[in-house]
Amino acid sequence: MKAFNDLADFSTDEIRELIALADRLDAHPEPDALKGKVLSLLFLSPSLRTLASFQAAMTRLGGGSFVISPEMSIHGIESRPGIVMDGAAAEHIREAIPVIASYGDAIGIRAFAERKNLEHDMAEVEFHSMTELIDTPYINMESAMNHPCQSLADWKTLDDFAIPANDGKFVLSWAYHPMALPLAVPAATLHMAAHRGMDVTVLRPEGFELPDPLMKKAAAAADAAGGSITETDDRTAAMQDAHVIYAKSWSSTRHYGDRLADQKLREELLDWCVDEPWFDNAKDDCRFMHCLPVRRGVVVADSILDGPRSVVIPEARNRMLAQMAVLHQMLGGSR
Ligand code: CP
């Protein structure tokens, strides 16, 4: 595996193989599988789970890792192309990335969306500008529009909780959050559930429609896998017979890059906080998923997070197991 950049690059069989490997590594640890291998981790955006789970994954497989982030005692990193570097930053990403990559056998990169221009972010301009600098195998640890490690872990979580693929109803719901957040997780989640063959409903208020190219790509994946995609702002209709609700906040696509207009739109939507009445007409055992971090009492009620519907903790642990499988395949642990 040369890159783990988009779950859509992998067939259903390949994804199932990765999940089977994750399960195997959980049940039968291989503490020497990646002995002597090094993973470079570049975090240009914040993290808890991704940061910790990649380091834990490498350690459990017998390899090592190191982390570089702007908050560390490093020279300031500049990323703008063609800039005259007469300000505070003393190092450009064009040197930093190949140097960091040269110390490892693979590199993970996290760089959130700029959130100024939707077309720019959809084209993954920043992420591509970094990966084109290296020949090292790389892992997308969340880019402007993708989070494949989260999606692989989420697919495994759906399997672990026996949530049906075909005929399973998956609701991807927008939720209130005080800030305009990136589209990476909803974009990746939409495609993951479609790829798995589920009947996916995107539940979102007006102004928060997911971009048309994402919906079309997911619809094609759902079609191929025997699932479907619908979009609505009707909560009751969306939740009818749902097996799972995956809550996430994201930026207004109508006002992308316009912070004040986004703010004005979302401040009317405080009731988009997932709570027990949302589940009135869902399956009795309808599950609650979220990639974390999650704001309690804002995105979701405490009683849901602390109750039997929530699978957020095993979902987060699956990040480590899913990434162990990716690293095992990428770095030759299977040989
Ligand atoms: N879900 C996720 O990627 O969490 P972090 O941002 O904490 O890594």
> pLDDT per residue over 1-58, tens digit each?
999 999 999 999 999 999 999 999 999 999 999 999 999 999 999 999 999 999 999 9
Ligand 1 centroid, distance to 47 Cα (angstroms): 5
Q: How far is CA 57 from CA 31, 277, 321, in A?
A: 10, 38, 7
199-229 pLDDT tens trace = 999 999 999 999 999 999 999 999 999 999 9
Strands (E), the chain: 3-4, 38-43, 64-68, 77-78, 91-92, 106-110, 138-140, 169-174, 199-203, 228-232, 244-248, 287-289
Q: Is 181 in the pocket of ligand 1 (CB under 6 A)?
A: no
Residue 335 pLDDT greater than 70, yes or no:
no
Report yes or no: 59 and 37 within 8 Å, Cβ to Cβ.
no
H or E element at residue 132: none
Mutate to test the pocket of ligand 1, among 109, 110, 139, 291 (most ligand atoms within 8 A of CB): 291
The pLDDT assigned to 334 comes to: 59
Report yes or no: 286 and 242 within 8 Å, Cβ to Cβ.
yes
Q: Is 157 in the pocket of ligand 1 (CB under 6 A)?
A: no
Report yes or no: 181 and 250 within 8 Å, Cβ to Cβ.
yes
Report yes or no: 39 and 63 within 8 Å, Cβ to Cβ.
yes
The pLDDT assigned to 72 comes to: 86
Residue type, 91: E
Q: Is 146 in the pocket of ligand 1 (CB under 6 A)?
A: no
Residue spans in the chain of domains classed CATH 3.40.50.1370 = 3-146+319-330, 162-310
Helix (H, G, I), strand (E, B) or coil at 248: strand
Mutate to test the pocket of ligand 1, among 41, 44, 48 (most ligand atoms within 8 A of CB): 48
Q: CA-to-CA distance for 273 and 175, rounded, in angstroms?
A: 6
Give the phi and the psi of residue 83 in degrees, each rounded to 5.
-80, 145
Q: pLDDT exceeding 70 applies to what percent of the chain? A: 99
The pLDDT assigned to 70 comes to: 87
The pLDDT assigned to 59 comes to: 98
Question: How would you class 219 by CB atoms within 10 Å of its CB: exposed for 0-12, middle for 13-18, buried for 19 or more?
Answer: middle
Residue 190 pLDDT greater than 70, yes or no:
yes
The pLDDT assigned to 285 comes to: 98
- What CATH number labels 162-310? 3.40.50.1370
The pLDDT assigned to 325 comes to: 98
Helix (H, G, I), strand (E, B) or coil at 174: strand
Residue owning tokens 């939707």: 118
The pLDDT assigned to 52 comes to: 98
Beta bridge partners of 92: 78
- What CATH number labels 3-146+319-330? 3.40.50.1370
Ligand 1 centroid, distance to 214 Cα (angstroms): 22
Mean of pLDDT values over 307-311: 98
Q: CA-to-CA distance for 227 and 166, rounded, in angstroms?
A: 6
Q: Is 50 in the pocket of ligand 1 (CB under 6 A)?
A: yes
Helix (H, G, I), strand (E, B) or coil at 105: coil
Q: Is 292 in the pocket of ligand 1 (CB under 6 A)?
A: yes
Q: Is 323 in the pocket of ligand 1 (CB under 6 A)?
A: no
Beta bridge partners of 246: 172, 289
Ligand 1 atom 3: residue of nearest CA = 50
Mean of pLDDT values over 68-78: 86
Q: What does the buried/exposed string (b/e) look like for 35-44 if buried means 16 or more CB atoms within 10 Å of the residue's CB?
A: eebbbbbbbb
Q: Is 49 in the pocket of ligand 1 (CB under 6 A)?
A: yes
DSSP string, 278-307: GGTTS-TT-EEE--S---BTTTB-HHHHTS
